[in-house]
Structures are given as C-alpha cells and as structure tokens.
C-alpha cells in the first residue's frame, strides 16, 4: 500500500485538498468552500470533516493515510500547532493541529499558507537548486517567506516575512494594517487595479492593466510605479536576507516577463553592495499551498520515516 498524507490549504473562500505520496505526487484533489461566513467554529468543523473524509477516501482507494498537513493564513505558531490569529477565518488561538490529530488519530502539522507555499516552491518548484530563497506572494496582499534549505523561517512569534507591511511610500495610501504607504497598499495586485481605476475612472484589474502595457499610457504609468515600489521592497528584503533567488508568486506574477524584466532593471538600479538575486516566477501556481501542507505533514513523521526523495536540496 502506498503511503499518502492528507493535505489541506485553507483560504478565505476555499479549501484546496490533496492526497500526496512521499514523492510529492498528488493521487487525488478536492476543493471545498471554507464557509468563513458561518464563523470560526463552523470553519473548524469543516476542516475536521474534510480531513476525515480525505483519509477515508485514501483507504477506499487502497492508499494508507499516514499524516495530515494543514496550511492556514494569518499568524501561525507552527511549534504549538496553533492558529493564533486569522482575520479571514475568525481564528483566535485555535489549537488546530491537536484537534485534527485527535479526530483522525494521525500525526498532524500546521503551517502558515505563504510559508508552506514557499517551501513547496523552494523544494519542488522554481526555487529548486537554491539553498536561500525568498518567496513573495503578490495577490490581494503581499507576504513573503524566507526559505533556507527548503525550510521556512517563521520568526519568534510566527509572523516573519510580512514584507507587505514594510513602508515604502511614507504618507502613502492607507493600509489595512493601520499604517500608510505599506508595500501591500501600493503594489499588490489589488492595489494595481485600484490605482488604475482611480486614474482612469473605469474599473480594471491588475491583469487588465498588464494586458494594456505599451498601448495605454495610464497602464504604463501605474505599472512603472508598481515596479518601483516592488523594487524598493525587494532591495530591503535583499539587504536583510541576502538570498540567491527570489520567487514571485500570486496573481501579479502571472504577468511573467512583463513584470520580471522591468523589476530586474529597477532592482539593479537600487542595489549597491548587495548581490543581485535571480528573479523568477513561481512554478506551482495555486497548488503550492497544498503541496507545502503535504511537505509539512511528511516532515512531521518520525525521523525513521524521513523522505529523502523530497529533500532535493543538498546537505551542506
């Protein structure tokens, strides 16, 4: 029987799920609504029920479920398996890891969505081959994960990597966090759409702006300002982390070279003594969080069950 882990990536609107074997191959995927509108208790109930259903599905398919990995947004204490705070899900100090482990009778692990997605990119996606990777997710918000040898550094309180709340435009647009001019408030995919809509007076998304580049002066202007802000943020990150490779994910990264090419130039203009990181886009798309949750579950297995196949990063 093939061993699989039950992986769940819990988002504000949907839960992506998979059964993943020790080689990182998905045997089954499912999607469910999160049900966040019904409150935290309902979301917890949904997560437990879905995880149990997936373990049952594995057994029915002749697979052996051996562990559970769950990725959630917000502030996550991975050591205690606690969802400390999550605005989208209404979580406050939810001991989710232990709840899942008790319900399924399997070892479980809890991780932060961007850190688990980053770990998947570092080990299975665009970060492969680099020991020091910064994964930056640019979507509705902006968040990052610093991966060293495929493992995300969570910080003392589970809140590392909040590059979206580095102030790059003092006195700039208000941010949801309470500050003004945060990177997220000026350069997230949501901010790009908002900025263009304000200037042009017609509703537009970041994807619309990207397709208008070279044909629409306003789109060019918004994009240039976005690239400049991102470069300002990345040069701070590079000063702090000195990574080998920066992997850009999230909706804005779908612009590909239209984003990467000017961003490389803008970054180069700002770097002085720092070493220039390679700038690439993510490879795993919206499956990264789920695969990362699976890696977390595999990592949580006893050492004798180590999974060398997934650890493609060479030991020092």
Smallest distance from Zn ion to CB 17, Å: 31
Q: Which of these segments, 91-99, 128-136, 182-190, 271-279, binds Zn ion (CB under 5 A)?
A: 182-190
| 8-state DSSP, 180 | B
Q: Kindly tell me which of 165 and 194 has the beta carbon lying closer to Zn ion.
A: 165
175 or 231: CB nearest Zn ion: 175
Decide whether 125 or 181 has the Cβ nearer to Zn ion.
Answer: 181
Q: Are 296 and 112 in contact (CB under 8 A)?
A: no
Please select the residue that binds Zn ion; options are 174, 177, 199, 240, rule is CB under 5 A.
Answer: 177
Which residue, 181 or 277, is less far from Zn ion as judged by CB?
A: 181
| Gap between the Cα atoms of 233 and 300, Å rounded | 33
183 part of the interface to Zn ion, by CB under 5 A: no
Least distance to Zn ion from the beta carbon of 184, Å? 5
d(CA 89, CA 75): 11
Of positions 134, 182, 280, 284, contacts Zn ion by CB under 5 A: 182
Q: Which is nearer to Zn ion, 16 or 165 (CB)?
A: 165
Dihedrals φ, ψ of 234, to 5°? -70, -30
Q: Give the up-direction half-sphere exposure of residue 166: CA atoms within 13 A in the CB hemisphere.
A: 19
Residue 110 and residue 158 in contact, taking contact as beta carbons nearer than 8 Å: no
Buried b vs exposed e over 62-77: b needs ≥16 C-beta within 10 Å?
ebebbbbbbbbbbbbb
Query: Is-contact 121 135, C-beta < 8 A?
Result: yes
Q: What is the total count of residues that contact Zn ion (CB under 5 A)?
A: 5
R_g over Cα of the chain: 20
Near Zn ion by CB under 5 A: residue from 151, 179, 205, 211: 179
| Both tokens assigned to 177 | 């966090």
User: In the complex, what is the shortest distance from the CB of residue 274 to Zn ion, in angstroms, rounded to a whole number?
Assistant: 24
Candidates 112, 165, 194, 195: give the one binding Zn ion (CB under 5 A).
165
Reference 163, options 115, 233, 231; nearest CA is 233
We find the least distance from the C-beta atom of residue 43 to Zn ion, in angstroms, to be: 25
Tell the smallest beta-carbon distance from residue 138 to Zn ion (Å): 14
Nearest approach in angstroms of CB 260 to Zn ion is 25
Rounded least distance, CB 180 to Zn ion, Å: 8
Angle, in degrees to the nearest 10, between helices 113-124 and 288-300: 90
Distance CA 64, CA 119 (A): 24
**How many Å apart are CA 82 and CA 308, to the nearest integer?**
28
Pick one of 110, 134, 145, 175: the residue that binds Zn ion (CB under 5 A): 175
Specify the residue, 55 or 175, whose C-beta has the smaller distance to Zn ion.
175
Cβ-based nearer residue to Zn ion, 182 or 253:
182
Interface positions with Zn ion (CB under 5 A): 165, 175, 177, 179, 182
């Amino acid at each position: 029987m093939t061993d699989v882990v039950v992986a769940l990536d819990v988002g504000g609107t949907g839960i992506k799920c998979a059964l993943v074997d020790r080689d990182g191959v998905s045997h089954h995927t499912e999607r469910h609504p999160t049900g966040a509108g019904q409150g935290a208790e309902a979301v917890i109930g949904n997560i437990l029920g879905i995880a149990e259903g997936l373990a049952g599905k594995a057994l029915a398919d002749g697979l052996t479920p051996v562990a559970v990995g769950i990725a959630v947004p917000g502030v996550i204490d991975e050591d205690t398996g606690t969802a400390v705070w999550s605005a989208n899900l209404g979580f406050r100090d939810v001991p989710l890891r232990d709840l899942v482990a008790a319900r399924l009778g399997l070892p479980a692990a809890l991780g932060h969505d961007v850190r688990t997605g980053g770990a998947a990119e570092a080990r299975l996606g665009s970060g492969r081959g680099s020991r020091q990777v910064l994964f930056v997710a640019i979507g509705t918000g902006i968040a990052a994960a610093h991966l060293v040898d495929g493992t995300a550094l969570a910080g003392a309180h589970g809140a590392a990597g909040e590059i979206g709340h580095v102030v790059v435009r003092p006195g700039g647009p208000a941010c949801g966090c309470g500050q003004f001019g945060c990177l997220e408030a000026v350069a997230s995919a949501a901010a790009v759409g908002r900025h263009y809509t304000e200037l042009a007076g017609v509703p537009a998304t970041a994807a619309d702006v990207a397709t208008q580049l070279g044909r629409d002066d306003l789109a060019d202007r918004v994009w240039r300002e976005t690239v400049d802000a991102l470069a300002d943020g990345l040069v701070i990150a590079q000063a702090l982390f000195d990574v080998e490779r920066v992997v850009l994910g999230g909706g804005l990264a779908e612009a590909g070279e239209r984003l990467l090419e000017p961003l490389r130039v803008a970054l180069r203009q700002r770097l002085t003594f720092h070493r220039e990181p390679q700038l690439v886009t993510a490879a795993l798309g919206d499956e990264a969080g789920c695969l990362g949750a699976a890696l977390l579950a595999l990592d949580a297995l006893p050492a004798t069950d180590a999974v060398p196949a997934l650890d493609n990063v060479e030991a020092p």
